[in-house]
């Protein structure tokens, strides 16, 4: 897998797509415990040359959580991804270069980001809104 088109084709074949535009695709990542998590894959271009894919998954509204506690939890329990604020949401996100990307290099981090975001959502917000 070496292009954004390859990522989109793979994701469309393997996951439930809930929205898509030119540089972004949103999927519903479903878990065995009947919980689900929205995952956003976005094409990013660095220096007008290098393509990357950013994996992001919302876990809370900024206004609804203690950011210090959430960031401490991310620091102790998260293997892939870091927390960021995007708009009104706290998200976990991780980025990968597309050049020479193998499928497991996308799927494994995406699974970890989705699972970690879902656990944070359950712990800090309750419910299953994202």
Label residue 127 exposed, middle or buried (CB < 10 Å: 0-12, 13-18, 19+).
Answer: exposed
Residue labelled with tokens 């970890």: 112
Please say if the pLDDT value at position 14 is more than 90: yes
Please say if the pLDDT value at position 4 is more than 70: yes
**Nearest to residue 55, comparing CAs of 121, 129, 116, 110?**
110
Rounded Cα distance between 98 and 78, Å, is 23
Provide mean pLDDT across the span 104-109: 88
Q: What is the pLDDT of residues 61-88, one digit of tens each?
A: 999 999 999 999 999 887 777 999 999 9
Provide mean pLDDT across the span 35-60: 93
Phi, psi of 30 (to 5 degrees): -105, 140
- Name the token pair of 82: 């870091």
Under the banding of pLDDT at 50, 70 and 90, the label for residue 1 is low
Segments making up each domain of the chain, as ranges: 4-124
Q: Give me the architecture of the 4-124 domain, per CATH.
A: 2-Layer Sandwich (3.30)
Within 10 A of 73 (CB to CB), how many other CB atoms are there?
Answer: 17
Residue labelled with tokens 């990013």: 44
Provide mean pLDDT across the span 82-101: 93
| pLDDT at residue 76, as a whole number | 86
């Amino acid at each position: 897998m070496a292009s954004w088109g390859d990522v989109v084709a793979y994701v469309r074949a393997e996951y439930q797509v809930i929205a898509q535009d030119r540089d972004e695709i949103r999927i519903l990542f479903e878990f065995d415990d009947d919980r689900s998590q929205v995952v956003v894959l976005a094409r990013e271009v660095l220096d007008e040359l290098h393509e990357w894919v950013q994996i992001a998954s919302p876990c809370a509204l900024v206004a609804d959580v203690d950011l210090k506690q959430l960031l401490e939890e991310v620091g102790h329990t998260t293997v892939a991804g870091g927390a960021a604020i995007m708009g009104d949401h706290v998200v976990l996100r991780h980025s990968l270069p597309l050049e020479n990307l193998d499928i497991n290099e996308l799927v494994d981090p995406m699974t970890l980001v989705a699972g970690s975001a879902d656990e944070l959502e359950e712990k800090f917000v309750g419910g299953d809104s994202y």
